[in-house]
Amino acid sequence: MRALFVTASIGAGHHQAQMAVQLALRARGVALDDRESDVVGYLSAAERSWTVDLYAFELRHAPWLYEWFYHGTDHDRPLSLIEFFCRWVGLSGMRRDIAQTRPELVLSSYWSSVPLAHRVRRQSRRPFVNALVVTDYRAHRHWIRPEADLVMVAAEETREQMIARGLEAGKVVVTGIPISQRFGALIGADKARLRAERGLRPDLPLLLISGGGTGTYTAQERVLTELGNLGRRVQVLVMSGAQRPGVSQVGGATVHSLGFTSDFPELMAASDLVVGKAGGLTVAEATALGVPLVIHEPIPGQEEYNAEYLQRRGAAIWARELSDVRGAVLAALDPDRHACLSAAARAVGVPDAADRVAAALLDRLGRA
C-alpha cells in the first residue's frame, strides 16, 4: 500500500504515534510503500519563525501567551486567519510529496497537514484517503477537520465534542491514542525484575519525570526539589533535559539522569508514578500500563484538559501549585490510594490503540 505519513516535529508524540501505526499495519500483513514527512519541513524559515519557533518561545518564556492563543482560536466563527493560512502555508511541500508518493492513504498526526492534503487532492483529482489521528483528549477547533475522511480520537468524550461542533459522526472513530506495541507487551511485567536489570532498587518508590521531548518543561528542577523533600527516600528517572547522564542526590531523591534511552517503555513499566506534564502520548503510555500520574504545570490548553480528563476519571492527581506536589505524590504512593489510581488508569488506557487505528484505516480503504 502506498502511503504518506505526515508528522510534525513540535514534540516527539506526533512521530511516535505515526511509528506505532506503521508497525501495526505491517503486523496486519500490509506491505507498505511509504514516505514519512514532517509538516514543519514544508515551511520556509520565515514561516517557521512565526509558527513553530513562536510556539517554543511561548512554552519556555510566556505560557500565558500560548494559553491566550489556544483559547482565542478555539471558536466556531466562519472567519479565521489561522484556517486561511493553513490552506496554503506548506502547500508546495505537500504537493511534491503526494506527486512523488502517489498515495492511497495520507495519514496525519497533526491537524495542519489535513487541509493541505485536501487541497492537493482537489487540485490534482488524485484519489486517496485523507485521515487524521488526534493525539490529545480534547477537540480544539483546529483538530475538527471536515476535510478528513476519517478522524481517529482518544476517547468517546472526544468524539462527542467533535460531533457537537459539526463534524460528521460517520467520520469519527474512537481508537485511543496509538502507542508502541512494546507497552502492551509489558502489562503485568515484574517491576522488581525490570528495576534490577537496570540497576534500580526494587524496595524504593520509582518516579518517572514527564518533561516532554523538547526541553520546554521549565518546572522540572522545581519539581525535583519537591521530590527531594518528601520525607521519604525515592528514586527519580529523568529522561528529558538531562545534560549530563549520571546519578545525583537531591535531598532524599536519588536522581537518575538518563538522557535519551531506548528503554523508555521498560522504565515506564518499572515506575510507580509519572510526575510532571500531561502530553497525550505520555498519558496514553502510562495509562496503558496502569501507572498513575501526578501532574504539575501541564502545557496550557490541551495538556490542562488531559489533566482534567484524567483527574475526573481517578487516574491522576493534578497538583496545581508547586506547594501541592509533595502532598500529591505522598498521597499517590499510599498503597490503597495507589491501587485505586492504578485501576482507574488501566480503565482509561487503550494498549492496542495502534492496532485499532490500523483496523479503522483498512476498513475505510476497503481492505478490512
Question: Which structural domains are found in the chain, ordered by start?
Answer: 2-179+352-364 (3.40.50.2000), 181-348 (3.40.50.2000)
pLDDT at 4 over 90: yes
What average pLDDT does the segment 227-252 reach? 88
pLDDT at 241 over 70: no
Whole-number pLDDT of residue 80:
75
What's the grid cell of residue 15?
Answer: 512521530
Amino acid at 336: D
The answer to whether 111 and 143 have CB atoms below 8 angstroms apart is yes
Indicate the pTM of the whole model. 0.94
Residue positions counted in the chain? 368
3-state helix, strand, coil in the chain (%, to 5): 45, 15, 35
Cβ count near 68 (within 10 Å): 14
What average pLDDT does the segment 296-311 reach? 95
- Alpha-carbon gap, residue 345 to 289, rounded angstroms: 8
Q: For the chain, give me the number of helices (H) and strands (E)?
A: 17, 13
Residues in a beta bridge with 132: 108, 151
Please spell the DSSP secondary structure of 196-252, one letter per residue.
Answer: HHTT--TTS-EEEEE--SSS--TTHHHHHHHHHTSSS-EEEEE-TT-SS-EEEEETT
DSSP label at residue 140: -
pLDDT tens digits, 63-86: 999 899 899 989 887 767 777 777
